Amino acid sequence: MFLLVFALISASYFLKRSLEDGERSRYDILLHCILIITSVVPPDLPMQMAFAINTSVATLMGQQVFCTEPFRIPMAGKVTACCFDKTGTITTDKLHAAGVVLPPSHPGAKESERTLGGLHPMTDASYETCLVSGGCHSLVVAAGQILGDPMETAVLDSLGWRYSSDENVARPFQGIKDKKGAEVKVASEVPRETSIKVLHRHHFQSKLQRMSVVAQVTGPKENNGANTYVLCKGSPEMIQTLLDNTHRAQLDDWYANTHRNLAKQGYRVIALASKQVSTANAKKNCTKNRAEAEQGLTFSGFVAFNCRNRADSIQIITELKQSNHRVIMITGDAILTAAHVGTETNILRKDKSKILILAEIEDKKSGSSELVWQSFADDSVVAKFSANEIPALFLEHDLCVTGSTLMRAGGDDPTSGGIWEHLHCIYVYARMKPDHKEKVLNGSNSVAGLTPQQEAWAKDPMVSETVRKARAKMLGQQDEIKHRVTQKKQQGEWFAEVKVRIEMAQEQQEQLMKEKQEQAKAKAKGPSGSSDNSSGAVAGATGSAVAANKPGDGKDTGKVKKKGDPKSPWDMLEDQDMGEAEMVKLGDASIAAPFTSKMPSIQSTIDIIRQGRCTLLSTIQMYQILALNCLISSYSLSALYLDGVKYGDRQMTLMGILSTICYLCISRGTPLPKLSPVHPPESIFHPALFLSLIGQFVIHLCTMMYNVELAKSTLPDDFKPDVKGKFAPNVINTVVFLTSCTMNVSGPRITT
């Protein structure tokens, strides 16, 4: 709008002067006025913007980050908060079954001498625990390997069981060995002849927080017959609601205290339950009615899992916080487990007494419940919940909530106010369902800026469609971490290594082609020594040599440029250096998010933000430069045009070359290795940028007017500008060219 206003002023000035002169036709005057007005739209802006975006895409691909929506790269520079999932993102996805907690009624529960922190070894698991662990899962067998949820495979391996997906049968198996080569012992309470055949599965759902199966168990403990069971596992809170009323009363406070203590130690706790049903009832009700199958269960124990944090998670999260990014954890795990991981990874402070959890406490006398802030350290009540008191608590504590308490505190509408207005004060969200995550992210975007969510989106398909400012995570091989480390070497060392490898590859290719040609010539001559069709044989051998030299990943590096000459490896390296990267192929990226990284690390989050900031600042800088040039152009087309100022062909060519070099340097800018705590401005209309643009324009305009006046003073008194004539060198033309050229070249340096 500002450029348009200035262009209208310039066009009005030109129109007034031209009409007063009376020597030009109205058609020429109107045409020139239109030219002045349209000059405020930079014709090369789309090209410069596309070049900057393409350069950023190529840079990210070099860092193993694939982008399917390049227009979101500048948006990454505006990010103020980063939301991470826990399992598989901040931590590894390799779970280890640490142990089992037996029900209090089990005889082995009192043998505490073999336990550590209340846990029994997996080999001491009870019969019911083994039935649920070995039968309630959704694993499949492919190429002789058991595939599926890492938690389920970890339990099966620790119990020494095997599963056949063709028969839908799980059984103990003798001879299973762990990673160290030691034989895995099978639980002593489970006879070797026991087998579990899955009849029907009620698959896991995030909203229900559980899964169950209807299975037929055969073995000595089943009176050498077959009995039907409902085997169920899920979150401790959900399983507790499904237990038989009598059994639930017997467990009383032991149940909650046990799984909470395990969660505070960082374990991921899964509750197990089961019940025996008649075969007729199983076929009639349990396989068709999930609610019927999962009610009146008997508690079978807890299984605790530990999962190590990724090696670089603490460093990356610390760097994000130092750059003034809010780091948030959004997970479906238990709140205590998530809080423990938060303290280990620097999301939450180390002092656990300063961590508050929003909990729902029920008054047994009145039967009512209320929300309170509990201390993570000792479960003591610090304060009753009040949305208005959240900012005050935030000053001294780190706040954590669950999906259920969040919904009760704020309702289902993120725009209703209350706790939704203070989402920036909460660092950990646990037991979050897909719709809860959607509301938190949408609410955070409306309150505190962009929040990219990073997690394995396959777990929650609903979120992938609604949360577009996301970064997908596709787990790669661990040796890719070493590849990233090598990329951090100095630039000179990297190019030296690439040069050696290319030379070796070229020598190998030439040697292979020579051998193929010699073989083809010998074959073409035959016993009689005739050389007919030898050219065709040599051509075929050359083609096969080039094909044989292709790498195994399917990339067509053997393409020829012309007349059969293979493309030089140096040309390939130069193409990559110039940003001519491959297009993203199917399988490289996840359709759930604009950015996909194949690295098993959250390092790519920093890479995306860093490159986003660089692209955003380059974009703003180009806007400033082009806006400044358009303002000067409007002045040149109006006032200076009436003074007869023109540019020669050589002058225009030189000015274009210098401007292109400046734009090229800006668009190929590289981000700083460390994120700055000062966030970049999000728009060119930021007061500082707008005032800078106005200030530079005033300085340029005053400088141009002053230099033109000085040049006019050297002209003869009878000098009359030739507006319609051709270019002729004179003092005023030379002064304007040198001043304009200096402004165009120095503009990018001043706006930087």
Read off the amino acid at residue 249.
A
Structure tokens at 434: 């897909």
| Count of alpha carbons within 13 angstroms of residue 462, beta-carbon side | 11
Would you give the distance in Å from CA 700 to the centre of its chain? 43
Which pair of structure tokens corresponds to residue 417? 């106010």
Distance in angstroms (rounded) separating the CA atoms of residues 275 and 214: 10
What span, in angstroms and rounded, lies between the C-alpha atoms of 159 and 150? 14
Instruction: Establish how many alpha carbons lie within 13 A of residue 516's alpha carbon, considering only the half-sphere containing its beta carbon.
Output: 21
CA–CA gap between residue 438 and residue 406 (Å, rounded): 13
The enclosing H or E element of 227 equals strand 225-234
- Rounded Cα–Cα distance for residues 176 and 157 (Å): 8
Q: What's the rounded Cα separation, in Å, for the pair 325 and 322?
A: 7
Specify the pairing of strand 298-306 against strand 326-330. unpaired
Tell me which DSSP letter residue 592 carries.
T
Contacts of 292 (CB under 8 A, 6+ apart): 285, 286
Side chain identity at residue 238, one-letter code: M
Whole-angstrom distance, CA of residue 713 vs CA of residue 364 = 97
What is the identity of the amino acid at 329?
A: M
Q: Which of 715, 744, 725, 719 is nearest to 646 (CA)?
A: 725
The closest of 408, 433, 294, 322 to 82, measured between CA atoms, is 322
CA distance 27 to 16: 14
Non-local CB neighbours of 743 within 8 Å, separated by 6+ positions:
628, 632, 700, 703, 704
Contacts of residue 355, Cβ cutoff 8 Å, sequence gap at least 6: 339, 342, 343, 348, 349, 375, 376, 377, 397, 398, 400
Question: Given 85, 333, 398, 607, which residue is catalytic?
Answer: 85
Tell me the β-bridge partners of 596: 66, 472
- 695 contact partners, CB below 8 Å, separation of at least 6: none
Nearest residue to 131 (alpha-carbon basis) of 65, 238, 222: 222
85 is catalytic: yes
Tokens matching residue 567: 């493309």
For 632, residues 6+ apart whose C-beta sits below 8 A from its C-beta are 697, 700, 701, 704, 740, 743
Q: Are the CB atoms for 21 and 29 separated by under 8 Å? A: no
- For residue 287, the tally of other CB atoms under 10 A from its CB is 18
d(CA 221, CA 18): 107
Rounded to the nearest 10 degrees, the angle between the axes of helix 313-322 and helix 603-635 is: 30
End-to-end Cα separation, the chain, in angstroms: 23
**Diameter of the chain by CA atoms?**
124
Tell me if 261 sits within 8 A of 236, measured CB to CB.
no
Determine contact, residues 102/126, Cβ cutoff 8 Å: yes
CB atoms closer than 10 angstroms to residue 143: 5
Decide if 222 contacts 193 (C-beta within 8 A): no
Residues with catalytic roles: 85
